[in-house]
Structure 1
Amino acid sequence: MPSEFALIRRHFTRPARHTDLAVGDDAALIRPRAGMQLAISTDMLVAGTHFFANTDPEDLGWKTLAVNVSDIAAMGAEPRWVVLAASLPHADEAWIEAFARGFFACCEAFGIDAIGGDTTRGPLNLCPTIFGEVPTGTAVTRSGARPGDDLWVSGAPGRAALGLADLRGEIQLAAANRDDCLAALQRPQPRVALGLALRGLANAMLDVSDGLFGDLSHILELSGVGAEIDEAALPIATLTAACGDAARAFAACTAGGDDYELLFTAPADRRGDIEAISQNLPLPLHRIGHITAQTEQLSLRTRDGQLRPATARGYDHFGRDA
């Protein structure tokens, strides 16, 4: 059986592009570019909580890094470096090789150097820490939303939730939509290009990991504002076609999470700029409501024009999955 260090040399040591000292020493040495701040985030994935134990390891390798890249994208930053800590039940080299293939495919896709980490025996647990760069003072945070801002979301949040429900046997997705929903769950696409394009344009931003309404509540709390969502503007038509159930599609879109789309606010007079970004990427961007002055109050404008309170539902690791 290969040693810990042999596994690291064989599967996790790759040439570095923008690192002074990478894998092999007690610590890595990195040098941020002049005029840049470091943006740092870590997101843990645990078997049985974040993924099925029998998940394809190559897909898992991609997703392990991608969900962390998404956090950097949500700050309007550029991902640059990652370290990976992992506990593994045993040294299954075929599994590790496939995992590394997916992990480094994501590194290549986003120009990231893997610069170190740690491995140990234990329950399957994967914990990257990612480092990005953003010009000093330009990071987009959760606290900048202003009354009157438009509220936008990228892509079609809810596809991953439907994919998970299909895998659990709770629903049977239409054949034409199943692969797309499973890809959203297993191979999420961090919106790095969008995050960079929105720097200097978006007032507040985050990635949707625990449900659109639940994650929106973080912006409302930190910005001291409220929001009104237009039900008719939510991108649920494709979700409804996939599962054949409008109520489930609404729940997947607003509370499902795990899609890693970007939710952001921007001044109403910048709509043309945002529509241009949508066309240039290309990536659908949906204007789903606006920010209000009513502190932390989330409301839903229903299709019949009624305004009612909306529950900020989402996944909570220490509470209930609403």
Structure 2
Amino acid sequence: MKNPDEREIIKTFQKRFGKTGFLADDVEVIKIGSCKFIAKSDMLVQSTDVPPRMKIADIARKSMVACVSDFSCKGVKPQFATISLSIPRGFTQKMINDLADGFASASKEFGLKIVGGDTNQGKELVIEVSMFGAGNKKIPSRGSAKIGDIIATSGPFGYSSSGLKIILNKYKANPRFLKKCMGKVMRSTPRLQFGLQAAKYFSSSMDSSDGLSITLNDMSEQSKKRFVIFGFPTEYDIVEFAAKNKIDLKDLVFCGGEEYEMVFTVSPLYLHQIRKMARKLQVPLFEIGYVARGKDVVLMEKFKPKKIKRCGWIHLRS
């Protein structure tokens, strides 16, 4: 019997907790009295989540970005956070100061307050962030896409995966492209303001941090609809980088990860509003497909549908 991966472990716990009908989503919505309480927890582990060359302050920021991105795609503002740390022996006071500076800077950047947490000793740096917000408005789920909806992303895909290939596998790139990729790898910025304004028009939405293919497949499965993709959400310099280094463009775009972009579906009736918001906030909107009757995620190649299989980052498998 093979060892379970992240998805199988989650299913095991759900059964033990009596949540057999539970559907995974980006945030937890709990009704307390007349108010909806929104919560999200995410964990950063140095050996699996931190690329080489990342500064300690940026590691702290990244641990918060993961939760903020989940709030963003639901249109909910995170208000408070707790942080729990596993610190290895050998961490100097300067390193602790850099961690503190990263958390303080990120909390100011995203407009939230850190209210507590825990500190412990471990073999490597581990940061667990829990974020909280509140609100009574309708929150789009991963599984509420409607037939005829347009599928869109809040930005391009491929820069993070290209950057990791440059760092880890020594792929070649021109200085301008390298700078763009390093910015995405080291300091990704979730589209919080766009999400807060636009999510009321989304029929479904999901943060994409483990890979676009995983995101699209999760949304398709939960919506019980077919996602038809007719365009790549990417830029020409990604296409050029893939061609020069003989990399499959589909792998860069669909099987990467760490983008922290939102993927959403929206009725054609609301496209004008979404486009207007994106222009105002300088969000590079990509309309990549539509929702149809059926199942699976398919890419139209020469007018023929080809299934996009689940690929990306899955803990304990990837």
Pick the TM interval, shorter chain: 0.7 to 0.9
Q: Retained in 2: the 8 A contact 1:138–1:199?
A: no
Matched with 1:56 is 55
Matched with 1:317 is 315
Matched ranges for 1:245-264 at <5 A: 245=245, 247-264=247-264
Q: CA deviation at 1:132?
A: 2.1
CA distance in structure 1 between the partners assigned to 2:35 and 2:199 by the alignment = 14
Q: Retained in 1: the 8 A contact 2:52–2:167?
A: no
Q: CA deviation at 1:242?
A: 4.1
Instruction: Verify: 1:121 aligned to 2:121, yes or no.
Output: yes
Matched with 1:69 is 68
Counterpart residue type for residue 105 of structure 2 = A
Q: CA deviation at 1:54?
A: 5.7
Deviates most, 246-255 or 268-277: 246-255
Matched with 1:146 is 146
RMSD: 2.0
Deviations 1:253-306 (A, max 9, x none): 1110101000000012222111111111111110000111113x111112x332
Matched with 2:22 is none
Q: CA deviation at 1:172?
A: 2.0
Q: Retained in 1: the 8 A contact 2:73–2:199?
A: no
CA distance in structure 1 between the partners assigned to 2:181 and 2:40 by the alignment = 26
Instruction: Verify: 1:109 aligned to 2:115, yes or no.
Output: no
Taking a change above 3 Å as real, the CA distance of residues 36 and 298 of structure 1, as seen in their structure-2 partners, is same
Instruction: Verify: 1:205 aligned to 2:205, yes or no.
Output: yes
Taking a change above 3 Å as real, the CA distance of residues 250 and 300 of structure 1, as seen in their structure-2 partners, is same
Counterpart residue type for residue 314 of structure 1 = G
Matched ranges for 1:238-317 at <5 A: 238-243=237-242, 244-245=244-245, 247-295=247-295, 297-302=296-301, 304-317=302-315
Gaps of 5+ in 2: 1-30
Counterpart residue type for residue 219 of structure 2 = I
Q: Retained in 2: the 8 A contact 1:145–1:203?
A: yes
CA distance in structure 1 between the partners assigned to 2:304 and 2:221 by the alignment = 24
Matched with 2:18 is none
Deviations 1:102-138 (A, max 9, x none): 22111101111000000111021111111123x3141
Counterpart residue type for residue 254 of structure 1 = F
Counterpart residue type for residue 194 of structure 1 = F
Instruction: Tell me the SS of whatever aligns to 2:313.
Output: coil
Number of aligned residue pairs: 285
Matched with 1:41 is 40
CA distance in structure 2 between the partners assigned to 1:316 and 1:236 by the alignment = 26
Instruction: Verify: 1:131 aligned to 2:132, yes or no.
Output: yes
CA distance in structure 2 between the partners assigned to 1:207 and 1:219 by the alignment = 11
Taking a change above 3 Å as real, the CA distance of residues 54 and 200 of structure 1, as seen in their structure-2 partners, is closer
CA distance in structure 2 between the partners assigned to 1:48 and 1:54 by the alignment = 13
The list of structure 1 runs, each at least 4 consecutive aligned residues, that deviate by more than 6 angstroms after superposition, is 32-35
With normalisation by structure 2, the TM-score equals: 0.84
With normalisation by structure 1, the TM-score equals: 0.83
